[in-house]
Amino acid sequence: MINCLIIDDAPIAREIVAAYCSHLPFLHIAGSCGDALEAKSILETIPVQLLFLDINMPVLNGISFLRTLKEVPAVIFTTAYKEYATDAFDLAACDYLVKPFSLERFIVAVDKARQKIQSAGQHIFLKAAGKIYQVQYDDILYAEARGNYTRVVTSQQVIVSNISFSQLEATLPPALFLRVHRSFMIHKNKISHIQGNCIYIGQQDIPIGNHYKDSLFKILGV
């Protein structure tokens, strides 16, 4: 069961999200509130794994609210504004839903969040420059082959490890990590968008190899 909190200043928007949640038996609505300050109080008393978070709210907007949290649950933004998507994904949002959104689109977003929640605490140890780093799977953005080394880019740092690219690929869970090029693999939940023959993770563009393109799109369902 995943405890979720709905945060939106529009009552009808909260009702729609709650109705969508009712179709997914593994979601439990721990609370529903109209502003960020009320949400902060709820988070101090109830364990919550997932936020459905609006952006344009009185007193404190959703982006600013998220930045105030020391421990951030998985987040799905639900907003009428497209222009905040980059900020949202910079804060490691699971997904960004632009109102009005369908139940089908909602389920896709929740599946991403569920996968992130289930993978929390899973990690790999990487050797680099005489140190051993513990890296959470969910912190990894992508990895790049560099000869006998592998460059692992995370949300906090870049680690050039002596693990081989093929060994890293065999170690990471295939449900989360996809080989998209002979020299690149990505965390599929970190994809911002795909344009042409490139995947974008934030501002970083990653090439899609011709050999991997069909299987990638099949896995992503596009």
Mean pLDDT per 10-residue interval, the chain, length 222 residues: 94 98 94 95 90 94 92 93 88 93 97 82 86 91 94 94 90 87 95 93 93 90 82
Q: Which residues contact 59 (CB under 8 A, 6 or more apart)?
A: 35, 36, 37
All structural domains of the chain with their residue ranges: 2-119, 123-220
Determine whether 175 is exposed, middle or buried from the number of CB atoms within 10 Å of its CB (0-12, 13-18, 19+).
exposed
User: Residue 8's pLDDT is what?
Assistant: 97
CATH code of domain 2-119: 3.40.50.2300
CA atoms within 13 A on the CB side of 29: 17
User: Residue 121's pLDDT is what?
Assistant: 60
Third-level CATH fold of 123-220:
OB fold (Dihydrolipoamide Acetyltransferase, E2P) (2.40.50)
pLDDT tens digits, one per residue of 47-63 = 899 999 999 998 899 99
Partners of 134 in beta bridges = 125
Q: Which residues contact 84 (CB under 8 A, 6 or more apart)?
A: 55, 63, 77, 96
